[in-house]
Structure 1
Amino acid sequence: MLSSSIGRRVRRLWRQYGIFWLGAIAVGLTAVFYARLIDLGYNAFLGLQKQHWWLPLVLTPAVGAASVWLTRRFFRGAEGSGIPQVIATLHTNPGAAGARLLTFPILLGKIAVSFLAILGGFTIGREGPTVQVGAALMFNLRRLYPRSNAQIERQLVLAGAAAGLSAAFNTPLAGIVFAIEELTRSFEARASGVLITAIIIAGIVALGLNGNYTYFGTIDIGAHFPDLFAVAVVVTGIVTGIAGGVFGWLLLNTARWIPAPLRQLHAERPVAFAALCGVVIALVGLISGGTTFGSGYAEARGLLYGSEHLSVFYPVLKLVSVVGSYLPGIPGGIFAPSLSIGAGFGNVLHMLFTDMQLPMLIALAMVGYLAAVTQSPITSFVIVMEMINGHALVISLMATALISSRVAKLFAPPLYEALSMRYMTPLPAPAASPELPAERSESETHDERE
């Protein structure tokens, strides 16, 4: 009797806590592995590009074509960042949607094809894909429950996605806020304990392997703020809000600005269309001196610490490269590229506010552009605050994020939420084009990107 009682209690504790802890450990390990893999791929590309300046003109189109062929042939549902897929899973039947969008083949394809894309110099990030990878890992643990249900599956997906973001950026608070503001748009007290525990465990695993670090390091702002600081916050919020809003409009309304011949090319010959996008990305990269290749993490960090000097055209060129990487439907995120574009705008605004510290303006512009793209201001300022250890700027970061997200709403709806609409129902064959039929609503005229 006693052993039977102990056995039942152990099984109950395993189902209540152990499965989530196991999943969180797996998310942390996978996030670290994925980050190192992407770094390896990008460094390999940089080494080749430095030896042969012309190589991107051949390599990038070839990699783009191969990536799209693999994604459309074997890994449908892995395209883009993966955050829209997670949102769609949480807002529909988690079991049915997860079985389409959070499978192990999609998880493996997400990692493998995005590695291939960064090896070709595409402008993608790993942070958004880590969200889908984390959600997929946790979702598939539902098989360990004797009687899984929609509530358990939803908690697994939510915890895995939040833990993935937290481990990718080393920003535990941002993981919690991201789950509340972006993924669910609500707070559920019953899920909060599970969520926080998963984030903590995944974060501990990542810290154990990477050490205690902040994503962009620590910037020294000092105690004195310039007289025009409030004006700089407002101007930065407006500028980045317009830029981020235009970016969102471009991604959600491709049928309204891409010429008809190119739309036809994508519909009929998507692999050739991807190769064409690769040519554009290679040309932009060569024009920029190689600064637009990859996620832009190195450029943003270099601007923060004064070791990088970029052209005033950098944010526009980077934006073009991000759009070009988005259109074919290659797995890859826009989190890190958005932060890099924001840093570029901060660098440009320093020409106007010369008496302000450059790192201060860059931090404001990063949070402003990210908030404009995602229209999740709280998540954006918490992410940036944690990744630069910028607690002295918390009020100004909040204000910039709120202003920019409000301005961006004038141009486009929330990006991830709008993109998630196409995943609410099973994907038709063949895989979707960047544009959908004109009679669909604006929020549905989009493709598979983050």
Structure 2
Amino acid sequence: MSESNVSKIYSDLNKLKWSVTFKGILVGLFAGLTVALYRLGIEFATEKSLEIYSFLKMNPIYIVGWLILIICVGLFIAYLIKISPESKGSGIPQVEGVLLFGQKMKSIIIIPVRFLAGIISAFFGASLGREGPSIQIGACGGEIIANKLSNNKLEENYLITAGASAGLSAAFNAPLSGIIFSLEEVHRSFSPNILIAATTAALTADIVSKTIFGLKPVLSYVDVPQLPISQYLWLLPLGVLSGIFGVIVHRLLLGSGNVYEKIPAMFRPMVALLIALPFGLFLPQVLGGGQNLVQLSETAQMSIGLLLIVLVCKILFTTTSFGSGIPGGIFMPILSIGALLGSLVAQLGVNFGLSSEMVSVFCICSMAGVMAGSVKAPITSILLMAEMTGSLVHLLPVAAVAFIALLTSDLLKTTPIYEVLLERLLNPNQTHTKKKSNVIIEMVVELGSEVAGKQIKDIQWPNGLLIVGIRRGDQEVVPNGDFVIHHGDYLIILSSEQEYQYMNTVVSKLCKPM
């Protein structure tokens, strides 16, 4: 390839940086508005579900009518999932499948199905959160805008990533978490262009969200005390327990899906809504995502016995709701489980010298720990706690518990839950229609990868791959076979549209730690 062509590629990449910046703002506006509407719908429906079950408990004669309604709604949700299988469950594995393996999303269908199925399920109190669907709704917005304004495959991926970041940002008023989530969980690597796209979209979506919902944090903890250094030893058992419960939730969520596979698909949502009925009548605290449980746990309004009962029931209810495939996320239910666990440990600890004022600190720490143990995205978990609570005074103990929980989860040989869900979604025989002739792949070389420290000629590259440039810091190099690749280098690869996904997958494996 001539130097003029290589220079043009670098020039195009530089233009791409500013293109994704401005288009990321549009993605953030779209995602912020749509996710805010979805969030309003979910919150309204969850509040109404509490009123409905309270009425049914006082007037049990109407339960028969409610059962008939459950059957009809369950069949309707199953129909929605049938016409839009990509809307099933969380939505995060579907987004990762698009970005990492070239799967397709029918964005125009997914958004209305997510709205309908998610809000209807919330009226019946399903124990599901809004964050996973919000991430997919945002990603769909990014794809829609990319299809209208871009003819570049790389830029399309950046805008889908930007939409995912904006979705999480708007769902929780947490722009930093949205940005880091894209790098830590979705791509699992760092790229300046991904960072730029995610940042502009997440911040824009946050502005939209705060305009609608106000500046108050989602979990407005007040006067969170600092944990004294003398009591830091408590973080070790709290981190281990958080990791263990994260693993328990992880395995039950996946196991419930296996159980539901034995039930015909059209009946699965119906079964989940039927299971919600006794919980709604006798333990309404576990209904919905669980934001109310977080507040109850933090203020220590439940006894140790009731905390234990609610904790077990919330875990079981969440796994039965999620395993059915009903469109809904697991972030908030996992956080509520963590808050319950933290409150339980803190109240038990009071008998052994722990100050009762530390309950809120333990709740926040355990939320991050359970999430890190199951999702295995510790940085996102830590930042999410800081943004959702609006306080940084507990950042060190939160980080300690998150990493202790992550270590516990690793020792128990737990695979990240979204990685397992993604593997279940992937279809290796799936083919896609390609419209463009050539695309550029940008890949970062990570420390400990197979290619780091080797000459280009000594690496077994896939047939047909063409490395047209390497970016090292501010330097842009046109390499030859003797060029030694260092970790931190960005490989600029030219691929045909037909080979894009194959090249992207193979090179990604070469550039990641062995």
User: Quick check: TM above 0.5?
Assistant: yes
In the TM superposition, residue 35 of structure 1 has moved relative to its aligned partner by 0.8
**Which residue in the other structure is 1:397 paired with?**
398
Q: Give the secondary structure class of the aligned counterpart of 1:221.
A: coil
In the TM superposition, residue 307 of structure 1 has moved relative to its aligned partner by 5.3
**Which residue in the other structure is 1:189 paired with?**
192
Distance 1:61 1:313 in 2: 26
In the TM superposition, residue 353 of structure 1 has moved relative to its aligned partner by 1.2
TM-score normalised to the size of structure 1?
A: 0.83
Question: Is the CA contact 2:372–2:403 (under 8 Å) kept in the aligned structure 1?
Answer: yes
- Note the 1:229-248 alignment, pairs <5 A: 229-248=231-250
Cα deviations by residue, 1:57-108 (Å, 9 ceiling, x for unpaired): 7278436623542233322110111011111111122xxx2xx325110111
**Which residue in the other structure is 1:251 paired with?**
253
- Residue 222 (str. 1) matches residue 225 (str. 2): yes
- Residue 121 (str. 1) matches residue 115 (str. 2): no
Aligned CA distance change for structure 1 residues 197 and 358 (closer, same or farther; 3 Å): same
**Which residue in the other structure is 1:31 paired with?**
35
Q: Which amino acid aligns with 1:271?
A: M
Distance 1:301 1:286 in 2: 21
Question: Is the CA contact 2:129–2:332 (under 8 Å) kept in the aligned structure 1?
Answer: yes
Q: Of the candidates 301, 317, 320, which is equivalent to residue 295 of structure 2?
A: 301
Aligned CA distance change for structure 1 residues 285 and 345 (closer, same or farther; 3 Å): farther
Distance 2:313 2:112 in 1: 31
Question: Is the CA contact 1:60–1:122 (under 8 Å) kept in the aligned structure 2?
Answer: no
In the TM superposition, residue 378 of structure 1 has moved relative to its aligned partner by 0.9
Q: Which amino acid aligns with 1:277?
A: A
Q: Which amino acid aligns with 2:285?
A: T
What RMSD, in angstroms, separates the aligned Cα atoms of the two structures?
2.5
Distance 1:250 1:371 in 2: 16
- Note the 1:8-19 alignment, pairs <5 A: 15-19=19-23
Q: Give the secondary structure class of the aligned counterpart of 2:225.
A: coil
**Which residue in the other structure is 1:338 paired with?**
334
Aligned CA distance change for structure 1 residues 60 and 330 (closer, same or farther; 3 Å): farther
- Residue 87 (str. 1) matches residue 87 (str. 2): no
- Note the 1:130-145 alignment, pairs <5 A: 130-145=134-149
In the TM superposition, residue 222 of structure 1 has moved relative to its aligned partner by 2.8
State the aligned residue count: 403
Aligned CA distance change for structure 1 residues 169 and 64 (closer, same or farther; 3 Å): same
Q: Give the secondary structure class of the aligned counterpart of 2:285.
A: coil
Distance 1:369 1:302 in 2: 18
Distance 1:224 1:230 in 2: 7
Q: Give the secondary structure class of the aligned counterpart of 2:407.
A: helix
Q: Of the candidates 172, 175, 186, which is equivalent to residue 175 of structure 2?
A: 172
Q: Which amino acid aligns with 2:118?
A: S
Aligned CA distance change for structure 1 residues 101 and 59 (closer, same or farther; 3 Å): farther
Q: Of the candidates 259, 271, 278, which is equivalent to residue 283 of structure 1?
A: 278
Q: Which amino acid aligns with 2:206?
A: G
Aligned CA distance change for structure 1 residues 273 and 422 (closer, same or farther; 3 Å): closer
Q: Which amino acid aligns with 1:327?
A: G
Does 125-134 or 100-109 show the bigger shift?
A: 100-109
**Which residue in the other structure is 1:317 paired with?**
313
Q: Which amino acid aligns with 1:44?
A: K
Distance 2:236 2:368 in 1: 13
Q: Which amino acid aligns with 2:241?
A: V
Question: Is the CA contact 2:16–2:155 (under 8 Å) kept in the aligned structure 1?
Answer: no
Cα deviations by residue, 1:403-445 (Å, 9 ceiling, x for unpaired): 11222231530001111123333899xxxxxxxxxxxxxxxxx
Aligned CA distance change for structure 1 residues 180 and 106 (closer, same or farther; 3 Å): same
**Which residue in the other structure is 1:65 paired with?**
74
Q: Give the secondary structure class of the aligned counterpart of 1:291.
A: helix
- Note the 1:142-153 alignment, pairs <5 A: 142-145=146-149, 148-153=151-156
Question: Is the CA contact 1:82–1:132 (under 8 Å) kept in the aligned structure 2?
Answer: yes
- Residue 385 (str. 1) matches residue 386 (str. 2): yes
In the TM superposition, residue 323 of structure 1 has moved relative to its aligned partner by 0.7
Distance 1:91 1:336 in 2: 25
Question: Is the CA contact 1:244–1:408 (under 8 Å) kept in the aligned structure 2?
Answer: yes
In the TM superposition, residue 191 of structure 1 has moved relative to its aligned partner by 2.5
In the TM superposition, residue 179 of structure 1 has moved relative to its aligned partner by 1.0
In the TM superposition, residue 218 of structure 1 has moved relative to its aligned partner by 3.1
Aligned CA distance change for structure 1 residues 214 and 153 (closer, same or farther; 3 Å): same
Q: Give the secondary structure class of the aligned counterpart of 1:215.
A: coil
Cα deviations by residue, 1:81-140 (Å, 9 ceiling, x for unpaired): 1011111111122xxx2xx32511011101110101111111111111100000000111
**Which residue in the other structure is 2:216 paired with?**
213
Distance 1:380 1:125 in 2: 16
* Rg larger for: 2
Q: Give the secondary structure class of the aligned counterpart of 2:86.
A: coil
Question: Percent identity among equivalent residues?
Answer: 26
Distance 2:317 2:181 in 1: 26
In the TM superposition, residue 178 of structure 1 has moved relative to its aligned partner by 0.6
Distance 2:127 2:94 in 1: 20
Cα deviations by residue, 1:341-394 (Å, 9 ceiling, x for unpaired): 111111211232112321111111111111112011111111012111231111
In the TM superposition, residue 15 of structure 1 has moved relative to its aligned partner by 4.9
Aligned CA distance change for structure 1 residues 285 and 16 (closer, same or farther; 3 Å): closer
Q: Of the candidates 85, 88, 99, which is equivalent to residue 76 of structure 1?
A: 85
Q: Which amino acid aligns with 1:110?
A: R
Distance 1:105 1:272 in 2: 22
Does 49-58 or 11-20 show the bigger shift?
A: 11-20
Q: Which runs of 5+ in 2 are unaligned?
A: 1-14, 431-514
